[in-house]
Structure 1
Amino acid sequence: MTHKWTRGLSWLALVLALGATTVAFTGMTLARVDRIGKLEGFSYLYQSAPVAAGALVIAIIALFLNWRAGWPARRAALIGFLFAAGFVGSLAIRVAMAGGAPMIHDATTDLADVPQFEAIELPDDNLRGVDTEAKWIALHEQGYPELRSVVLDRSIEQTIRDAETLAKERGWTIRAVDPKAGRLEATAYASYIRFEDEVVIRARPDGAGRSLVDMRSVSRVGIGDLGVNAQRIHDFLEDLAAVR
């Protein structure tokens, strides 16, 4: 009887873990190649997560029973545990990395004079989740106090050309670029699903022969972004400042 329960739980953990992983990966892949919507693809992952968590619990119990019963189904229990742990662990790490990111999807270095898009049209519901611009600003100031304009010791034109090079290296799609006017607009991509995020980079003279650079990154779908847009701005401007 003990062996029967051990084998049953071991195979149940394996089937649930593989099933959850397959469903999540299939949905995300379909969204990645635009066969289904991005949020629909993400829902496959979201809905599979509880199944993977359950598989992880069952796998742990199965491993314990295997240990007590002489390992009659150790392979199924171990594989189920590894798949479930990988699924749940990767999600936990991603959420932990987001820390206390506010529930907004629009990040910028300049809240007083927000960089505007000209070539790219943002969704009409870009204030979704916050209702008013004042609430967005308040959440932004609380969540991303470190995002600030940067000053670069180079011309406006060179700054935008350097930004264009970095954007292309990252695989972004350039939508508009005007080095003399100090503007660049592009579409960046996030996660395996390739969520589309719109980016605008603005360079203006600082009055001392240098460039004052601001950046904005906006997700086209969703309410919160787990801090992805703010991190993109931080990393991009850091790399832009390092260009020689």
Structure 2
Amino acid sequence: MQRFIPITLYGLIILAGSMAFVSIAGVRVGLLEPVVGFILIKKTVLAAIFLFFFSIFAYWKCQEACNKEKRCFIAACILFSGLYSGAWLSFYVPKMNLPLINDITTDTKTPPAFITMSSFRHAGDNEISYSKEFAAIQEKAYPQVQPVITDESSSLVFRKVVDLVRQQGWQVVSLYPTAGVIEATATTPVFWFMDDVVVRVRSVDGKTRVDMRSCSRIGTHDFGKNAHRIEDFMSELRLSLETLDES
């Protein structure tokens, strides 16, 4: 049995490595849809978990019968499969309890509306209109998603918002300075999921209020990405406006 263990380990490594390469490279060159790539990478995690436990079994089985080179190889399999599966599980497991929503906004009552983004979406993409069912779910899961309210003029804040959107590397789709609206598309770094963003700047009760909405084009679960994007953007905007106040 000992001679078949290294062959089995090699096979599992090649299988998992090939799937991981195809899942990411296939998305990058346009052969796979992002959701297909994500499904494939989840399968590689399952393969890595199996490889991890099988390697532990193999190391125990070969402690005396295998030579030093084989034991070192098996130990390397334990290390790398454990690191790989552990890295992905550390991402996935904490997000398992997040709600199955894909559209987040700082204003659930009158969320910023997309003006031209519908022309950039495909027939199979998610609805571009905000689902009111998400409001109560979002307020419970992401209470920290809040608008920015400032004493600065709306024109100045709008310019700051536009600059910040461009700094994020998002693709600007449309600008409506008179309406205080900017639409953009953000792309996730690994699987290139496309999320659409709209920021609205308007005067409310003598102050300038900035609201933002971020929604996924595909999928029912965003793993908290949209909420995290809004939080980061609003934090940077607040910091930028505070710098103005101090100067």
Q: TM-score, normalised by structure 2?
A: 0.85
**Alignment gaps of 5+ in structure 2:** none
SS in 2 for 1:217: strand
Which is worse superposed, 24-33 or 181-190? 24-33
SS in 2 for 1:12: helix
- Give the distance between the partners of 1:180 and 1:36, measured in 2 at CA: 40
SS in 2 for 1:215: strand
1:176 to 174, 177, 183: 174
1:106 to 103, 106, 109: 103
2:91 counterpart residue number: 94
- How far the C-alpha of 1:179 sits from its partner, in A, is 3.2
8 Å CA contact 1:120, 1:175 repeated in 2: yes
**Alignment gaps of 5+ in structure 1:** none
- Counterpart of 2:106 in structure 1: which amino acid? T
Matching of residue 54 in structure 1 with residue 58 in structure 2 = no
1:35 counterpart residue number: 31
- Give the distance between the partners of 2:26 and 2:175, measured in 1 at CA: 31
- How far the C-alpha of 1:194 sits from its partner, in A, is 1.0
SS in 2 for 1:101: coil
What do residues 177-200 of structure 1 show as CA deviations (whole Å, max 9, x unaligned)? 233421111000124011000000
Give aligned pairs, total: 236
Which is worse superposed, 181-190 or 154-163? 154-163
- How far the C-alpha of 1:40 sits from its partner, in A, is 1.6
Q: 1:98 to 1:160 in 2, by over 3 A?
A: farther
- How far the C-alpha of 1:161 sits from its partner, in A, is 2.0
8 Å CA contact 1:60, 1:81 repeated in 2: yes
SS in 2 for 1:133: coil
Q: 1:136 to 1:10 in 2, by over 3 A?
A: same
Which is worse superposed, 148-157 or 217-226? 148-157
- Give the distance between the partners of 1:98 and 1:202, measured in 2 at CA: 29
- Give the distance between the partners of 1:13 and 1:91, measured in 2 at CA: 20
1:240 counterpart residue number: 237
2:71 counterpart residue number: 74
8 Å CA contact 1:176, 1:184 repeated in 2: yes
SS in 1 for 2:117: coil
1:147 counterpart residue number: 145
SS in 2 for 1:193: coil
- Give the distance between the partners of 2:12 and 2:72, measured in 1 at CA: 15
- How far the C-alpha of 1:240 sits from its partner, in A, is 1.1
SS in 2 for 1:177: strand
8 Å CA contact 1:10, 1:63 repeated in 2: no
Q: 1:211 to 1:96 in 2, by over 3 A?
A: farther
- Give the distance between the partners of 1:189 and 1:81, measured in 2 at CA: 34
- Give the distance between the partners of 1:168 and 1:67, measured in 2 at CA: 57
- Give the distance between the partners of 1:170 and 1:26, measured in 2 at CA: 28
What do residues 48-67 of structure 1 show as CA deviations (whole Å, max 9, x unaligned)? 22212111111122233444
Q: TM-score, normalised by structure 1?
A: 0.86
1:126 counterpart residue number: 126
- How far the C-alpha of 1:95 sits from its partner, in A, is 1.5
SS in 2 for 1:114: coil
Q: 1:62 to 1:151 in 2, by over 3 A?
A: same
Which is worse superposed, 73-82 or 215-224? 73-82
What pairs up with 1:8-47 in 2 under 5 angstroms?
A: 8-47=4-43
8 Å CA contact 2:59, 2:75 repeated in 1: yes
8 Å CA contact 2:108, 2:132 repeated in 1: no
